[in-house]
């Protein structure tokens, strides 16, 4: 194993729970993958994954001997999870793939760190670190690629992709998040050649990767590269509005807005309700995700930068805050003039401060006006509500009652 003098210093290394887990596992355990990569690149660290030369059963016994709760989350593939008060630690036994079909792998456990590194996807993910932060680069290429911010497959790119076709999308995701310059040529070529195999993947796995790509600062370039390689037409043939998507990414970045991956993804589409249903079914989106995309793409409410305050209140009441803000962002991203930033921001601010008014008319009031029990009460109430909304939510009770009387006299008697 190639081991240099590179050492990382990080708060997560010093956390009491981290030290407790590593001490329980012993010298045969090392941090691995994203936690090492991100620390070396100066990126935020969230999950802490650990690799160990012991079998999963032995690792579990070591942890439980120290009173640490263990969940066998994927023990057949060598993975257990140590549950600590501050965070969970995923611990996986070193392994090699003995059989793959592009979607899943059969593994055997090993004690060889080099063999474990070889089965990983990219060189920047094949780095390990001891409990004291000493970095190990078994393949001798990861640290250089970290320094160059270069995303490369380990060994033969075609072989790595054949082991799991999702690595095609991961290639673009990792380059968008961590890469610099143009994507690795060999990797790009291998991804393009394997694009049809993406049809074998489950919708859930594809949608998760697409949303992660969409969340990157360089998402616009990533999706353009995927389109040029013929990959986007395979996984997302509905993506006809990359221009609007790129504008939205730029707006969120320039205005320091929190990234909204689902909104970004939806901005690529011009779909009717049936189109959204088909997309959601294929990508196995949740009911909430499907409903939100359908609302923002099919709603016909007029949303423009120059809406009056009265028009804003009406739109918010009719379509709700979430749909209104989504429509504003899509309208902003489609705005070619480039000088309406203040107006678009003002619409978002009004939405954030808006409080939905309560319709003052009750069913009892409608009934007292002479409307019989049944569906007529709901119909008359909706008629008056439409007027009340158009009247900018007047709180004049006399005017509301007069309108109720007029509706009853004209449509009930």
Locate the domains of the chain by residue range.
1-148, 154-298, 300-353, 363-411
How many angstroms separate the CA atoms of 101 and 386, rounded?
59
Q: In what order do the strands lie in the sheet with 128-129?
A: 3-7, 134-136, 128-129, 29-32, 48-52, 88-93, 79-83, 69-74
Same CATH fold assignment for domains 1-148 and 154-298? no
**Residue for token digits 């070396």?**
40
Per-residue model confidence as pLDDT tens digits over 292-313: 999 999 999 999 999 999 999 9
Give me the pLDDT at residue 239, please.
97
The 3-state secondary structure of 166-221, one letter per residue:
CHHHHHHHHHHHHCCCCCCHHHHHHHHHCHHHHHHCCHHHHHHHHHHHHCCCCHHH
Per-residue model confidence as pLDDT tens digits over 271-300: 999 999 999 999 999 999 999 999 999 999
In this predicted structure, the answer to whether residue 114 has a pLDDT above a threshold of 90 is: yes
What CATH number belongs to 1-148?
Answer: 3.30.460.10
- Interval 64-72 mean pLDDT: 95
How many angstroms separate the CA atoms of 282 and 203, rounded?
6
In this predicted structure, the answer to whether residue 2 has a pLDDT above a threshold of 60 is: no
Give me the pLDDT at residue 1, please.
42
pTM flag (> 0.85): yes
Contact 396, 402 (CB under 8 A): no
Per-residue model confidence as pLDDT tens digits over 365-402: 999 999 998 999 999 999 999 999 999 999 999 999 99
Instruction: Give the closest residue to 143 by CA, choosing from 276, 1, 296.
Output: 1
Domain 154-298, architecture per CATH: Orthogonal Bundle (1.10)
Per-residue model confidence as pLDDT tens digits over 14-25: 999 999 999 999
């Amino acid at each position: 194993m190639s081991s240099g003098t590179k050492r990382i210093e990080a708060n997560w290394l010093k956390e009491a729970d981290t030290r407790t887990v590593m001490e329980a596992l012993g010298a045969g355990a090392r941090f691995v993958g994203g936690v090492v990569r991100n620390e070396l690149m100066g990126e935020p660290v969230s999950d802490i994954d650990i690799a160990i030369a012991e079998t999963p059963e032995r690792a579990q016994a070591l942890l439980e001997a120290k009173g640490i709760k263990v969940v066998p989350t994927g023990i057949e593939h060598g993975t257990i999870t140590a549950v600590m008060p501050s965070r969970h630690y995923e611990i996986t036994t070193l392994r090699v793939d003995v059989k793959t079909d592009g979607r899943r792998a059969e593994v055997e456990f090993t004690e060889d760190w080099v063999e474990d590194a070889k089965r990983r996807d990219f060189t920047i993910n094949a780095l390990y670190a001891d409990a004291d932060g000493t970095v190990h680069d078994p393949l001798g290429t990861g640290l250089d690629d970290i320094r160059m911010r270069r995303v490369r497959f380990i060994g033969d790119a075609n072989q790595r992709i054949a082991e799991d076709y999702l690595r095609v999308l991961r290639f673009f995701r990792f380059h968008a998040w961590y890469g610099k310059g143009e994507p690795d040529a060999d990797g790009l070529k291998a991804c393009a050649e394997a694009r049809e195999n993406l049809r074998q993947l489950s919708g859930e796995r594809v949608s998760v990767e697409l949303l992660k790509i969409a969340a990157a600062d360089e998402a616009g370039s990533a999706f353009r590269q995927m389109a040029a390689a013929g990959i986007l037409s395979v996984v997302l043939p509905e993506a006809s509005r990359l221009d609007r998507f790129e504008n939205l990414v730029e707006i969120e970045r320039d205005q320091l807005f929190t990234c909204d991956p689902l909104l970004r993804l939806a901005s690529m589409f011009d779909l009717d309700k049936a189109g959204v249903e088909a997309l959601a079914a294929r990508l196995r989106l949740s009911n909430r995700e499907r409903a939100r995309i359908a609302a923002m793409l099919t709603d016909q409410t007029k949303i423009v930068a120059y809406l009056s305050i009265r028009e804003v209140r009406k739109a918010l009441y009719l379509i709700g805050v979430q749909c209104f803000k989504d429509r504003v962002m899509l309208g902003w991203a489609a705005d070619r003039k480039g000088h309406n930033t203040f107006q678009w921001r003002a619409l978002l601010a009004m939405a954030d401060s808006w409080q939905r008014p309560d319709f003052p008319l009750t069913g009892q009031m409608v009934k007292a006006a002479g409307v019989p029990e049944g569906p007529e009460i709901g119909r008359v109430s909706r008629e008056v509500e439409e007027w009340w909304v158009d009247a900018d939510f007047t709180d004049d009770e006399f005017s509301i009652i007069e309108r109720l009387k007029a509706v009853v006299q004209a449509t009930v008697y």
